[in-house]
Amino acid sequence: MPHLCSLYFLLFFSSGDKSVPSFTFFLFFLEMSKRALTSQFPRSCFPYHILQQTRWADNDIYGHVNNTTYHAYADTVINHYLIHRGGLDIHEGSTAIGLCIENSFKYFSPITYPDIVWSGVRVKSLGTTSVTYEVGIFRNEEESISALGSFTHVFVDKRSRVKTPIPLRLREALVAVQVFPSSQL
């Protein structure tokens, strides 16, 4: 749907037609595209959730939680899962660590202080040395997703920083929350 939206924009706005009916239809089409995408990601499609409280300092000048905070939500839910379900020992035991090489978010509805955030995680793709997660951010008790994130870890040796296979216990935990087939972000 987003590609159709872009096509509509190019056809009507690059041709110089900026009439109110065209723009109104464009906004309507944009809203329908957003609803179609958010309905694909209900809270139930993320098998592991944690609760995170927004803080006063999370709000930016525009009156909503700043986009950088969403990346912290993602990092927190992923590492919470890896520690509590995958046995990741961040202090002493693990020789392999995951380094974030890429992350992104799509935003659908704002979150503001003092909202409660439910962050959910699932595995989109799993390789020998890397994993890509999808993170769903939900406001309060709402079922509709507020933001959808993608986050990729590459596992490396803790000391040498050379790529290494994902440890077996961690891999088993990742498989437990993997989705088939992979969704598209």
According to the model, what pLDDT value does residue 181 have?
Answer: 61
Which range is least confidently modeled, 88-102, 112-126, 143-157, 159-173?
A: 88-102
According to the model, what pLDDT value does residue 1 have?
Answer: 43
**Which of residues 183 and 139 earns the better pLDDT score?**
139
In this prediction, residue 79 has a pLDDT band, given cuts at 50, 70 and 90, of very high
According to the model, what pLDDT value does residue 20 have?
Answer: 53
**Which of residues 164 and 21 earns the better pLDDT score?**
164
According to the model, what pLDDT value does residue 3 have?
Answer: 45
Could you say which architecture CATH assigns to the domain 43-176?
A: Roll (3.10)
Residue type, 43: R
* Full DSSP string of 75-137: HHHHHHHHHHTT---TTTT-SEEEEEEEEEEEE-S---TT-EEEEEEEEEEE-SSEEEEEEEE
Judged by DSSP in three states, 44 sits in helix
According to the model, what pLDDT value does residue 38 have?
Answer: 56
Mean pLDDT (whole number) for 166-184: 85
According to the model, what pLDDT value does residue 43 have?
Answer: 84
Inter-residue contact 70 to 109 (CB < 8 Å): no
Q: Is residue 126's pLDDT more than 70?
A: yes
Backbone torsion region of residue 161, taken as left when φ is above 0, otherwise alpha when ψ lies between -120 and 50, otherwise beta: left
Domain assignments of the chain as residue spans, ordered by start: 2-39, 43-176
According to the model, what pLDDT value does residue 30 have?
Answer: 46
The chain-wide mean pLDDT, for the chain, equals 83
149 has which bridge partners?
105, 135
According to the model, what pLDDT value does residue 42 have?
Answer: 83
Quote the pTM value.
Answer: 0.78
Encode pLDDT of 91-107 as tens digits. 887 789 999 999 999 99
Encode pLDDT of 10-56 as tens digits. 444 545 555 555 555 444 544 555 555 556 788 889 999 999 999 99
DSSP summary character for residue 181? S
According to the model, what pLDDT value does residue 37 have?
Answer: 58
Residue type, 53: Q
Q: Residue for token digits 């944009």? A: 30
